[in-house]
Amino acid sequence: MKRITIAVPDDLARAVTREAKRRDTSTSEVIRVALVAHLGLGFRRRELPFANLGSSGDPDIAQRMEEILHEEWEGDLRR
């Protein structure tokens, strides 16, 4: 990691310090996060190659998730 020294107005320095305390992190981390966001270098949505690979044929599987998991894991829960 490269160290960069910059000069900022006092009010901006106070705001960064206050934000670092609020987040319980360092001022350097607050500045890094702000720069990444400002420069658009942050999180980029990735394709999920495994999404939609198969179809269960069950149109309400998401709504019945808890019920299905309970049925599948019932034997394991008794151990």
User: Under a CB-based contact definition with an 8 Å cutoff, are residues 18 and 28 in contact?
Assistant: no
The C-alpha atoms of residue 65 and residue 58 are separated, in whole angstroms, by 11
**The domain defined by 1-43 carries CATH number 1.10.1220:** yes
pLDDT of residue 34: 93
Residue spans per domain, the chain: 1-43
Per-residue pLDDT of the chain (79 residues; tens, 9 = 90+): 899 999 999 999 999 999 999 999 999 999 999 998 888 887 666 666 666 666 677 788 878 888 888 888 876 666 5
User: Under a CB-based contact definition with an 8 Å cutoff, are residues 36 and 26 in contact?
Assistant: no
User: Under a CB-based contact definition with an 8 Å cutoff, are residues 32 and 41 in contact?
Assistant: no
